Amino acid sequence: MNRIKIDPQRVIGIIDRNIFGGFAEHLGRCIYGGIYEPGSPLSDKHGFRKDVLDALRRLGIAIVRYPGGNFASGYRWRDGVGPVSERPARTDLAWNDIEPNHFGTNEFIEFCRRLKTEPYLVVNCGDGDMREARDWVEYCNGTRETALIKLRQAHGYPKPHGVKYWGIGNEVDGHWQIGYKTPEEYARVFTEFGKVMKWVDPSIKLVAAAVSDWKGALVERTRLLLEQAGDLIDYLSLHWYIGNAANDFEAYMAISELLEERLSAYEGLVQAVSFERQIKHPIYIAVDEWNVWYRTFPPEVRETMKLEEIYNLEVALVTAVQLNAFIRHARTIKMANIAQIVNVIAPIFTRPDGLVLQTIFYTFELYSRTCGNLALDPWWEGDTFSGGAYKGVRVLDVSATLDGNKKQLAIYVVNRSRAKEMETSVQLSNGEFKGDIKIYTVNGPDIKAENTFETPANVQIKEKRITARNHTLNFTYEPHSVTALVCDIA
């Protein structure tokens, strides 16, 4: 018997809705043919795909990072504003493509408004300069009578866009990046870009690119960045992509341990440097690119497949494992962006005549819809397994949240056994279950099940209700499933 104990008073931290963030890059069919398809019968008169917007609304995406990604490191924002017919097509070296610039800053802001989501822009510190970066802040947020504000007004936007979140560079630690930077170079660039960007608009929040290449002296790199630029950093960005190239289910499921190690290490690092340097403002962590990406990763297929990864049930499980990690680290992780939102390593997959919701869509939707505003500290024990380098990993992966206003509890459990049900006693060590318990389960016929245009509902959310008495509930988790148990507590 597995055992989970929850004390609704043991709050770890406040959950920032921005952990349900997304990322849209000029890459493959994410923007063109994904979000934006002028002339399509499925688009509105401005070219936004209405079916995509509806699906994204279901995900409750709180913030969207744009325009890249690697693309950002060669992007000129001025190419993407003004009359569309006058915008230049450019070579995109990041993805070896041609960028027509028909979608740019203002289209992105329009998209965010339709979605009621927060825009998050990444400035080019690859082959771009600080003048461009601070001009972009001014164009978007400025209120004074300057040429850039007049330009924005001439483009049809009298009021400032009020973009609060700004990233300086993307994956600058990776040699694949246009304008890769040594730790010293990036610390300096961040300081100088950040300084003038904040002078233009002191209310903006800055995101520093810390780690994407999880090799080498990464702690050293981040420590230097925090020491030299800590005063200006609001968020430290981590990126990761995981996968199952070896087709080893157990190793894949044990990824929770690695993520735990990474997050704990970075939390500690930020805390230690903040203490030593007496940095008084909080520096949060933004995992502003996370997902599964391996089938379309190797260079020989990357070009042709443009990262159009098809996801199966096991990916829906590791998506939940990642969301559980973000919830358990809610005290420091204040933003996380699934990469990406449409077509390119994404929960939504389009064709000119419709779309399909991938397996991971349902996991994300489930968490985003039911997650409370407070992260709790669950205790659990039970069956274990070995996967990759990790032994004694608990088969269940658990997180829990409380909606402080509604007194509603949500307990998220991934059963990582491919064949076994997990009988579990779920106990409240404070308070009692009240009324019906809603059970939402993401599952499918087997771990390789996918949703396709032909079979769109292989994996989805099933709902049922049960009742519990007092403070203990015995529940059996289905094999290879993600379950949210949502209930009121007294």
- Which residues are tagged catalytic? 171, 289
Per-position DSSP letters for 64-113, written without gaps between them: EEES-SGGGGG--GGGGSS-GGGPPPEEETTTTEEE---S-HHHHHHHHH
Q: Which stretch binds ligand AHR (CB under 6 A): 68-76, 134-142, 373-381, 394-402?
A: 68-76
Q: How far is the CB of 405 from ligand AHR (least distance, A)?
A: 36
Helix (H) / strand (E) containing 427: strand 422-428
Q: How far is the CB of 27 from ligand AHR (least distance, A)?
A: 6
Of the two residues 99 and 171, which places its CB atom closer to ligand AHR in the complex?
Answer: 171
Separation CA 191–CA 229 (nearest Å) = 5
Out of 70, 106, 228, 312, which residue is the one contacting ligand AHR (CB under 6 A)? 70
Amino acid identity for residue 221 in this structure: R
Cis-peptide, bond into residue 82, ω within 30° of zero: no
Torsion of CA 66, 68, 69, 74, to 10 degrees: -150
Q: Which residue is nearest to ligand AHR (CB)?
A: 69
Q: Does 21 bind ligand AHR (CB under 6 A)?
A: no
Kind of pairing, strands 21-23 and 333-339? parallel
Q: Does 68 bind ligand AHR (CB under 6 A)?
A: yes
Out of 105, 106, 170, 324, which residue is the one contacting ligand AHR (CB under 6 A)? 170
HSE value, Cβ hemisphere, 13 Å, CA-based, for 20? 23
Of the two residues 61 and 400, which places its CB atom closer to ligand AHR in the complex?
Answer: 61
Bridge partners of 469? 472
Helix (H) / strand (E) containing 321: helix 313-328
Contact 72, 33 (CB under 8 A): no
Q: Does 173 bind ligand AHR (CB under 6 A)?
A: no
Tell me the three state secondary structure of residue 446: coil
Q: Does 340 bind ligand AHR (CB under 6 A)?
A: yes
Of the two residues 171 and 397, which places its CB atom closer to ligand AHR in the complex?
Answer: 171
Q: Site residues for ligand AHR, window 185-204 (CB under 6 A)?
A: none
Q: How far is the CB of 381 from ligand AHR (least distance, A)?
A: 37
Q: Does 25 bind ligand AHR (CB under 6 A)?
A: yes
Q: Does 289 bind ligand AHR (CB under 6 A)?
A: yes
Q: Does 339 bind ligand AHR (CB under 6 A)?
A: yes
Q: Does 332 bind ligand AHR (CB under 6 A)?
A: no
> What is the contact surface with ligand AHR in residues (CB under 6 A)?
25, 68-70, 170-171, 289, 339-340
